[in-house]
Structure 1
């Protein structure tokens, strides 16, 4: 099972942010331009938006795109993206702190009662995250 995130026109910016925060690569990136959805109803400014993408890094894999023009901006509720960062707690803390830039920490990154390290945040795009490590 993989998660699929929708953005209201800033998917490419979000993917660049996640690449910086989590490492990894944008494996697939397809634009609306040249697709079957590139027609008279597609606004010119939407042609370069992301129709589909895949992001992969250690501990994370998800897909993402921009919504179709005119659709409401996505509201992320009732779930959280969960990323396990292998290696040291310091590496996981770096990812946590990077994802939290411009966002809101909802549970500080610290050792929980079950061991390892864990924290929760909502990033600057409104996406909720849980970051964990075993050390």
Structure 2
């Protein structure tokens, strides 16, 4: 069974929000990556460099709260629809099975493929309008 974690999207407030969540939950960030840290071919406009591309805060019990700022070219997120479910399967085969099963009848946003951060990753909206991400970490730390 894959791990399931909430993934929050923001319009530029991710760092502020996650510092607040950290003050409540405690702990340390497992990862903080800004848009300026990603390869140039995936980078957007320079004015977005200091926005959060990905942040992860372990909150206990094997759960992780994750989030990012949505790049302007992807539009604005609306409160209430800015939550995704992130699944972390144990294998590439499980990732494909979950992706293919859950995305059936829905809208594929990003097909499963190798991502620059070393994972096998894909995104979709299921036929009920729920946003999902599948992230198989091929190189666990």
TM-score (norm: length of structure 1): 0.49
Larger radius of gyration: 1
Higher helix share: 2
TM-score (norm: length of structure 2): 0.47
